[in-house]
Amino acid sequence: MKSYLIAILFMFGIFIYSCDEVFEYSPYVIDFEDHETNLTQKNIIALSLNNASDTLTIALTGDTHRFYDEAERMVNKLNTDFDIDFLIHTGDFTDYGIPKQYHWSNSIFSELNAPYFVVAGNHDLVSNGEEGYKEMFGNLNFSFIHHAIKFIFINTNSREYEFNGQIPDLDWLRNEINPGDDFEKVVLVFHTPPFDADFDSDLEDEFMNILHNSDNVLFATHGHLHSFNYSEPYSDGIPFVNTASVEKNEFVRVKIYNNEFTVDVIDF
């Protein structure tokens, strides 16, 4: 009888273990597969293995929220018709910040034949979304250098931190943007633009001062506003590119050549 019980318990254990996907304990359980973790680092490595051409081609998207079908069509279009070096997602990769939505969005973007980098949006940080982001991608602030351009991704979703004065982390930004021998220009990526009410207004001036004083920012790109826009909001020579809205079947293609760049909105 006892061995019978042990056998049943053992089989039930195997059953639960093998049915990892079938049973759900909570919508907030963060339990990604290995291929869904540490993606920023993995994509930086993948990008470093790419053959360098003279022109750098980048796709910009963002605010994909629950527009899964649109995002999938965009990825298919990029795979078939475009040869991009990598894709930048300017945040709101999820709508509710829940692990399942991280999984769904990543299942779509992982089909892209190019590396992809995601900065956290405010929606990605709701509930335990920040933990989900860290588990799937890594640090909220990160950077890498490609083609002598430093791409700096920074968390600017101040409202999610109750405007505590720490977000965005200006000390980190100052340090990253500081001109170095290994890069000539900077592309800054964030979700909430500094002129938005969700950005800490106490940090807005200093944020723009850092960008201005470093004198190396090629352009800044952000999301949050769901429509394409190219402007110089502070009239200080720093262009802002608001990524196009995926729900209107648009993405932005940026080509960078010799420290000059062009911006196109592409329909898919």
Positions that interact with other proteins (CB under 8 A): 16, 19, 22-31, 66, 68-69, 71-72, 95-98, 100-101, 104, 108, 123, 126-128, 131, 135, 159, 162-163, 197
| Enclosing H/E stretch for 89 | strand 86-89
Q: Which residue's CB is nearer to other proteins, number 109 or number 228?
A: 109
Q: State the minimum distance, in angstroms, from the CB of residue 246 to other proteins.
A: 12
Q: Which two tokens stand for residue 45?
A: 């490595």
Min dist. Cβ of residue 106 to other proteins (A): 13
Judged on CB neighbours under 10 Å (0-12, 13-18, 19+), 5 is exposed
DSSP annotation string for 90-115: -S--SSS--HHHHHHHHHHHTTSSS-
Nearer to other proteins by Cβ, of 12 and 230: the residue is 12
Nearer to other proteins, 30 or 263 (CB): 30
Minimum gap (Å) between residue 26 Cβ and other proteins:
5
**Nearer to other proteins among residue 97 and residue 115 (C-beta):** 97
Bond preceding residue 27 cis, omega within 30 of 0: no
Tokens, residue 42:
């993995």
Sign of CA dihedral 250, 256, 259, 260: negative
Angle at 201 between CA 139 and CA 193, to 5 degrees: 55
CA distance 20 to 211: 47
Compute the least distance from the CB of residue 152 to other proteins, in Å: 26
Residue 105 or 143 having the CB closest to other proteins? 105
Shortest distance, position 208 Cβ to other proteins, whole Å? 23
- Of 135, 180, 128, 127, nearest in space to 40 by CA: 135
Query: Whose Cβ is closer to other proteins: residue 42's or residue 66's?
Result: 66
CB–CB of 190/90 below 8 Å? yes
CA torsion sign for 231, 215, 260, 225 is negative
DSSP calls for 25-48: S-TT-----GGGSSHHHHHHHHHH
**CB nearer to other proteins: pick between 131 and 184:** 131
The least distance separating other proteins from the CB of residue 190, rounded to whole angstroms, comes to 19
| Smallest separation (angstroms) from other proteins to the CB of 148 | 37
